[in-house]
Amino acid sequence: MILEKRKKVIIVGCGRLGGRLASMLSDKGYQVVVIDNNEDAFMKLPESFGGIEIAADGIDLDTLKYADIDEASVFIATTGNDNINSLLSQIASRLYGVPNVFVRFEDTDKELLIRGFNIEGIYPFKLSMKAFEDSLLGNDEEEDEI
Amino acid sequence: MRIVVAGGRTQADFLIGTLVKKKHKLIVINDDKSYCEYLTNTHKTPVFLGDPSKYFVLNEAGIQGYDVLVALTHRDADNLAICQYAKRCFGVKKVICTVANPKNVELFKELGMDSVISSTHMVAQYIAQATNIENITKGMNIEDDRVVIFETVVEPTFGCVNKTLIDITLPANTIIGCIIRKTSADIIVPTGTTEIKVGDKLLIITSPENQKKAEAAIRS
């Protein structure tokens, strides 16, 4: 288990994924900071959300310092832009040495940008492919006939 | 040299024009279709249509082993991604990353960029330098700010007037590299016995730390 109680999690990008992760982790007792440059994005968070919301540009170093990135044990980059996510994850891992850094990439080739660093890529494309494969072909031995 | 110009509009236009004239071999990549057509027609050079922050676009453009890549898109994160692909995946020898946010200059250097350029950062640097020292007409920092070259015009009040270089005590790592004298057709590369005259324009090479001391040594 990577996450322990009251560990600090920073999430940049409060979209569907970022928002759900934030509320899930907050419910489980983690200290959550969510950053998004669009204040309206925080409407996705439930009433019960107990974390901190920062409406600011996540790729501005001052925002990350304000969020005390040096104290974070988990950093998650889930903005809608792969290149921004790549930059964010590298700041967190390479400059601030955040021990657990996750990044969401739409384009699987972006893995080449973080290869060799202590950053874990999450790829919706690969997950979808896997889900389709499992559902379509899963235990079906007669896949060739499809 | 073989140079990749990725993204950008007017800066790309200008840069491509300059580089084509100097007979460099270019790969130009731009994600705006009508701008691609404009660049192709203006510079008679092939332009790849595509987002240069995508791996397959860089791959198809054939940038493998190029000498220099310049990233000119208006999004800093895109420029970083382009430069990192170029360096990590395509063995491009030197990358130049332009940024809109001056705070990204130091950050991107720490992330491995050879050279990061921000116009705001350069203006700020110029102003800081110009207010540092009076009489300065022009100055520039080179080699990642480790070397400063600046000009100063000798006024009658300066202590160095009519002295030979050997009699002027300059701080460490400082030389007067060149003297431009109105009465002399050629530039003067001074030796220890060269005398400094009123109205001489001195080209001084020093380090940023010693710039003020160098200026003081010339004046007093």
> Hey, where are the domains in chain A?
8-145
Mean predicted lDDT score pLDDT of chain B? 88
**What angle separates helix A82-90 from helix B76-90, to the nearest 10 degrees?**
80
Which residue in A84, A94, A113 is closest to B85 by CB distance? A113
Q: Which CATH superfamily is domain A8-145 in?
A: NAD(P)-binding Rossmann-like Domain (3.40.50.720)
Which residues of chain B lie closer than 8 angstroms to A81, CB-CB? 77
The secondary structure of residue A58, as a DSSP letter, is: T
Q: What is the mean pLDDT of residues B7-23?
A: 92
Strand ordering across the sheet containing B201-206: B136-142, B147-153, B201-206, B175-180
Which class would CATH give B133-219?
alpha beta
pLDDT number for residue B211? 86
Which residue in A60, A86, A115 is closest to B81 by CB distance? A86
* Chain B residue closest in CA terms to A106: B54
CB–CB of B84 and A95 under 8 A?
no
Residues 6+ apart with CB under 8 A from B89: A112, B55, B58
- Helix, strand, coil share (%) of chain B residues, nearest 5: 35, 25, 40
pLDDT number for residue A73? 95
CB–CB of B80 and A86 under 8 A?
yes
Which residues of chain A lie closer than 8 angstroms to B80, CB-CB? 83, 86-87
pLDDT number for residue B148? 87
> Smallest CA–CA separation between A87 and chain B, in Å?
6
**pLDDT score of A80 more than 90:** yes
CB B71 within 8 A of CB B78: yes
**pLDDT score of A142 more than 70:** no
CB–CB of A112 and B101 under 8 A?
no
A64 reaches B (C-beta below 8 A) = no
Interface test with B, best of A37, A64, A69, A113 (most B CBs within 10 A): A113
pLDDT number for residue B134? 53
Question: What digits encode the pLDDT tens for the residues A44-74?
Answer: 999 889 999 999 998 889 999 999 999 999 9
pLDDT number for residue A133? 92
Percent of chain A with pLDDT over 70: 91
The secondary structure of residue B171, as a DSSP letter, is: P
CA distance A74 to A62: 18
CA distance A41 to A54: 11
CB–CB of A95 and B111 under 8 A?
yes
Question: What digits encode the pLDDT tens for the residues B85-125?
Answer: 999 999 999 999 999 999 999 999 999 998 998 887 777 77
Which residue in A61, A107, A109 is closest to B103 by CB distance? A61
ipTM of the predicted assembly exceeds 0.90: no
CB–CB of B89 and A112 under 8 A?
yes
Cβ neighbours around A10 below 10 Å, total: 30
Question: What digits encode the pLDDT tens for the residues B36-72?
Answer: 999 999 998 889 999 999 999 999 999 999 999 999 9
Place of tokens 């092939």: B46
Please report which confidence band the pLDDT of residue B130 belongs to, taking 50, 70 and 90 as the band edges: low
Which residues of chain B lie closer than 8 angstroms to A83, CB-CB? 53, 75, 77-78, 80-81
A61 reaches B (C-beta below 8 A) = yes
CB–CB of B101 and A60 under 8 A?
yes
**With b meaning 16 or more CB within 10 Å and e meaning fewer, what string describes A100-136?**
bbbbbbebebbbebbeeeebebebeeeeeeeeeeeee
> Smallest CA–CA separation between A97 and chain B, in Å?
13
Please report which confidence band the pLDDT of residue A129 belongs to, taking 50, 70 and 90 as the band edges: very high
CB B11 within 8 A of CB B72: yes
For CATH 3.30.70.1450, the residue range(s) in chain B are 133-219
* Chain A residue closest in CA terms to B110: A95
Interface test with A, best of B31, B56, B78 (most A CBs within 10 A): B78
* Chain B residue closest in CA terms to A114: B84
pLDDT number for residue B138? 62
Mean predicted lDDT score pLDDT of chain A? 90
pLDDT number for residue A2? 53
CATH assignment of B2-122, among 3.40.50.300, 3.40.50.720, 3.30.420.40, 3.40.50.620: 3.40.50.720
* Chain B residue closest in CA terms to A85: B77
Token pair listed for B49: 């249509």
